[in-house]
Amino acid sequence: MAFRHITLLTFCFMLALLPVRPSVAAALRVAPLLIDVRKGATSTIELQNLGRDVTNVQIRIFKWVQKDGKRQLLKTRDVVASPPFAKIRPGKRNTIRVVRLSRRPLGAEESYRLLIDEIPTRKKTKRFQVGIALRYSLPVFFGTQSAETSGLKWTVVQKNGETIVTAKNNGSRRVRLVGMKLEGGKGRSISFGKGLSGYVLQGSTKTWRRKGLISSARKRGRVIITAQTEHGKIRSEAKLQTAH
């Protein structure tokens, strides 16, 4: 019995050393990566196959909302993507149309997410393969020409060893935040990375959490929030709160 156990372990070890080749390469190029329709009800994106094999993709669109500070994707009939499936040959391009069907007037910006999923194909091969499903998630916005960004209202709370940041957007247009950072007392700071920190959709709130405290629990002062937006750099203040 012990011999069989050792033999099985040896086989598993040798299996792990065998070459593994991804069956789907990142050969799909999508442009643009953001759809912002300020006039009209239709826009397009282009899919290009840079690989050597046929690429099959599924295209879906969802209503994008933020509830309790978190992102949710909901089924919708107000906007459609056509065609819902595409077969792209090597070196070829396909155009996808995104159309707002709803006749409801736009009082404020509407937000959606366009999901483009590359469908892995099974191919006969002598080597082991790993199917990798590539997904693009593109923001889609429909708004009026007069939609403008207003200031965000910030809340910063320390609780259970975490710093919790919430931004509320009472404006009629989303705010895109890049390189968000908190600065507290005595040189303490918390960074949310140099890249995209996230969107705060119109009429919604978004919450970020980071381990660590921005300031001493005994000294609750003001916190400075800085970030880059589509309209320039912002610098806001918020009163630091400590939850018990």
Structural domain ending residue among the three candidates 81, 115, 142? 142
Identify whether residues 28 and 125 lie together within a single domain: yes
Identify whether residues 135 and 183 lie together within a single domain: no
| 68 assigned to some structural domain | yes
Instruction: State both tokens at 125.
Output: 């091969």
Name residue, tokens 């990375």: 193
List, as own/partner pairs, every contact residues 212-215 make where C-beta atoms lie below 8 angstroms and the sequence separation is at least 24, other chains included: 212/161, 212/162, 212/163, 213/158, 213/161, 213/163, 213/188, 214/156, 214/158, 214/163, 214/182, 214/184, 214/188, 214/189, 214/190, 214/240, 215/158, 215/184, 215/185, 215/186, 215/188, 215/240
CA–CA gap between residue 180 and residue 225 (Å, rounded): 7
Query: pLDDT at position 149, please?
Result: 57
Identify whether residues 236 and 156 lie together within a single domain: yes
CA–CA gap between residue 176 and residue 19 (Å, rounded): 42
Query: pLDDT at position 241, please?
Result: 87
Residue 10: phi, psi to the nearest 5? -65, -40
Cα 189 from chain centroid? 25
> Total structural domains in the chain?
2
CA–CA gap between residue 34 and residue 174 (Å, rounded): 13
Mean pLDDT throughout 5-27? 40
Structural domain ending residue among the three candidates 123, 142, 161? 142
Query: pLDDT at position 16, please?
Result: 36
Mean pLDDT throughout 192-212? 95
| 15 assigned to some structural domain | no
Note down the domain range covering 217.
152-242
Residues 6+ apart with CB under 8 A from 29: 47, 48, 49, 50
Helix (H) or strand (E) holding 198: strand 196-200
Query: pLDDT at position 41, please?
Result: 94
CA–CA gap between residue 112 and residue 74 (Å, rounded): 9
Q: Which residues of 193-220 are buried (b: 16+ CB within 10 A; e: fewer)?
A: eeeebbbbbbbbbbbbeeeebbbeeeee
From first CA to last CA, the distance across the chain in angstroms is 58
Tens-place pLDDT, residues 166-196: 999 998 899 999 999 999 877 789 999 999 9
Q: Which residues of 111-142 are buried (b: 16+ CB within 10 A; e: fewer)?
A: bbbbebebebeeeeeeeeeeeeebebebbbbb
Q: What is the pTM of this model?
A: 0.81
